[in-house]
Amino acid sequence: MNKASVADLRINYVTNELLEKNVFNDPVRQFEIWFKDAKDSGIREPNAMVLSTIEDNKPSSRVVLLKGFDSEGFVFYTNYLSDKGIQMAETPFVSLNFFWDILERQVRVEGTVEKVSEKDSDEYYWSRPRGSQIGAWVSNQSSVVETREVLQEKLDYFEAKFKDMEVIPRPPHWGGYLVRPEKIEFWQGRPNRLHDRLLFSHDGAAWKIERLSP
């Protein structure tokens, strides 16, 4: 595709609006409404979100899956020794970004990040299909692998090792993170690029809502 034909891609957003009088004071309740809309919209992975971390003042982004949220924050699971895990250990501050194309909506979250309890990680680990549980043992996430065959050999090894075990232990380096939001912005596409942006910021005691210029 040449540059001009990419530049010509343009959608006028006309589907929804986001007005102060229609939002909850609590952004997590607002997120709940929007997340349900995303689930109902037919989007295949409404819980896919871009997680950005920092290493030596440089940002790094990748997609992970949201696995729960409540008044405490947003939870996802990964390998604690992966690049992102090391980055979050050094700088426990991240951003999350959801883009729900068909709804012309974006949600941006910024906050601190911490590990969830061992119990929560165990519960989620054991709720996953057996193949995914074994996969967590196989993958030294983010490290260089010589060939695809090396992964397959490791998979064979762990499948044999756990063959007779009904409950596979959770690898100690695999578990969840909780992002405690300090800011949550809801973005709704509107006609003529005059989009709605409502920013919720937490000052330690309460949430404040401000409209941002698009």
Ligand X SMILES: Cc1cc2nc3c(=O)[nH]c(=O)nc-3n(C[C@H](O)[C@H](O)[C@H](O)COP(=O)(O)O)c2cc1C
Footprint on this chain of ligand X (rule: CB under 6 A): 45, 48, 60, 62-65, 76-79, 82-84, 141-142
User: Nearest approach, Cβ of 53 to ligand X (angstroms)?
Assistant: 7
**Nearest to ligand X of 20, 45 (CB atom):** 45
User: Nearest approach, Cβ of 127 to ligand X (angstroms)?
Assistant: 14
Tally of residues, the chain: 214
Nearest residue to 211 (alpha-carbon basis) of 29, 20, 24 = 20
- Please confirm, yes or no, whether 193 is among the known catalytic residues: yes
Interior angle at CA 182, CA 76 and CA 190, nearest 5: 90
Q: Cβ(51)–Cβ(19) under 8 Å?
A: no
Distance CA 13, CA 199 (A): 20
Q: How far is CA 113 from the centre of its chain?
A: 12
**Nearest to ligand X of 13, 111 (CB atom):** 111
Three-state SS string over 8-62 comes to: CCCCCCCCCCCCHHHCCCCHHHHHHHHHHHHHHCCCCCCCEEEEEEEECCEEEEE
Distance CA 67, CA 176 (A): 9
**Nearest to ligand X of 60, 127 (CB atom):** 60
Distance CA 166, CA 189 (A): 49
User: Nearest approach, Cβ of 85 to ligand X (angstroms)?
Assistant: 6
**Nearest to ligand X of 90, 210 (CB atom):** 90
Element (H, E) at 109: strand 105-115
User: Nearest approach, Cβ of 179 to ligand X (angstroms)?
Assistant: 13
User: Nearest approach, Cβ of 14 to ligand X (angstroms)?
Assistant: 28
Q: Which of 29, 130, 193, 211 is catalytic?
A: 193
For tokens 């990040």, name the residue.
113
Q: Could you give the residue numbers annotated as active site?
A: 193
